[in-house]
Chains A and B, each alone.
Chain A
């Protein structure tokens, strides 16, 4: 079954085609890494899939639903979650409150206007479990702004996972992390259930090859190669423009 399908997607910003006709099919449970130099259009493609940018043309479907023009929150409710390239958290809230918000997103319609949040015991238990599972228990009461960058990147991932998504988009989850923090994030991704589909933008070649089932390489808004690790390593065009010609 196809988890995420992109058909001939284009996005123009003025005269610039940031994404110039991309087609992708990603199977349920697949781990797909998007590679490509800066400005290749990876993040614009992600924004289109998540709904933060509307494509100029083309079609996107998620688990069989056409989501091309759906609002981001409707896509999230269909099982799509994402992290952001530039850390996008709630700087003035605590870690626990952030996780509660992430859990509430999927339940928002059943939450009342005048019943105190503190009376939703089950949500607090769920939040504790999530924080415990991902090693953030010690930070629960801390304000997000005061966390280390590594902890913030981890929290990005935890917030995305809180709604138990079926398709997860990770936009450079290890960018700017130390080797130790990077391996912690890689371990987190490896622990995720195998039926969760993961699409990931990654610049770190080792991380990409370690996590990916298949890799797609973008260059100047187009897809220039697709395949497993061996196929990508053997692709001369990829070697030239991305891995360097040496």
Chain B
């Protein structure tokens, strides 16, 4: 009972803090928290595959980046409005996921990882190489933010927009992982053959999980394109995919809160470290090694085992 009250107080506190961010922080830091929220969504979408279904993807940036590029291309090249470009970007990410999933699901474990990686590299090389269409590695600047009657041009109002979108998406993810479908994904993570023997069409569950993960990654990618008002091939790069994996592992795979915390920590560290050195990726690698050695279940795992030790001496 006290635990329930405790988590209720904690949630109210977090919501209050999130709502107060634009009032309390300077615009630069409001932007940083916005980025944390976007990457929290990206990491949670990956965790649907990694933590819940047990499929480690090294190509999740593909769906994120496809959505970003769809926004940029439709707004800047086709001169369409965000009313069309925003939903279209989600459709593009979902369709990409739906097409890639059957290929990736032919493998398991490291084979699945390599196929997802290879597929994402294909998308990356299109964005990088097709200069006349995508501007290659110059990327596409000047993406206008959507306008729903009020302007999202300043950091504060854009923050609230992202907060609402991410909150709704998180709520959907919570519903999904708590549903019988989400429970079945965890069963598949634990034993595919047992789930088949129990009458589950394991492939179909994995397929749906893959497509859902791609759709939510696409939503994060769309928000990120608006956030930076820019897209570039680095959105699709393997480093982006690996960063998302590390966010999930750092925070704790198989929970939704874990990847969100992991994303916040990584985004903050990236900002902080990049202000001092250019070797951020090196630091990221060290973080990964330290986490896998000392906290294999992530920050959430550390908290849980600390609590267990306190209550069960």
Stretch at the interface among A110-118, A127-135, A233-241: A110-118
Cβ contact within 8 Å between A101 and B198: yes
Query: Complex: how many Å from CA A52 to CA B193?
Result: 8
The answer to whether the Cβ of B152 comes within 8 Å of any Cβ in the partner chain is no
Cβ contact within 8 Å between B176 and A101: no
Asked if A71 meets B199 with Cβ closer than 8 Å, knowing A88-B191, A108-B184, the reply is no
Cβ contact within 8 Å between B195 and A101: yes
Q: Interface 1/0s, chain A 77-89, versus B by CB < 8 A? A: 1000110100011
Q: Which of B190-208 contact A (CB under 8 A)?
A: 190-191, 193-202
Cβ contact within 8 Å between B178 and A73: no
Cβ contact within 8 Å between A100 and B183: yes
A side interface size, CB within 8 A: 39
Cβ contact within 8 Å between B197 and A117: no
Chain A positions within 8 Å of B146 at CB level: none
Chain A positions within 8 Å of B313 at CB level: none
The answer to whether the Cβ of B186 comes within 8 Å of any Cβ in the partner chain is yes
Q: Which of A52-79 contact B (CB under 8 A)?
A: 52, 71-73, 76-77
Query: Complex: how many Å from CA A100 to CA B273?
Result: 47
Secondary structure call for the B interface: helix
Query: Complex: how many Å from CA A50 to CA B216?
Result: 36
Chain B positions within 8 Å of A71 at CB level: 196, 201
The answer to whether the Cβ of A140 comes within 8 Å of any Cβ in the partner chain is no
Can you spell out 29 A-B residue pairs with CB atoms less than 8 angstroms apart?
A50-B197, A71-B201, A73-B198, A73-B200, A73-B202, A76-B196, A76-B199, A81-B198, A84-B193, A88-B191, A89-B190, A89-B194, A92-B190, A93-B187, A97-B183, A98-B187, A100-B183, A102-B198, A104-B184, A104-B200, A105-B195, A108-B180, A111-B180, A112-B179, A112-B180, A113-B181, A115-B175, A115-B180, A159-B198
List 15 other contacts, CB 8 Å, given A101-B187, A117-B180. Answer: A52-B193, A73-B195, A73-B198, A76-B197, A81-B198, A84-B194, A90-B191, A92-B186, A92-B190, A101-B195, A102-B198, A113-B175, A114-B176, A159-B194, A160-B197
A residues in contact (CB < 8 Å) with B: 50-52, 71-73, 76-77, 81-82, 84, 88-93, 97-98, 100-102, 104-106, 108, 111-118, 120, 159-160, 162-163
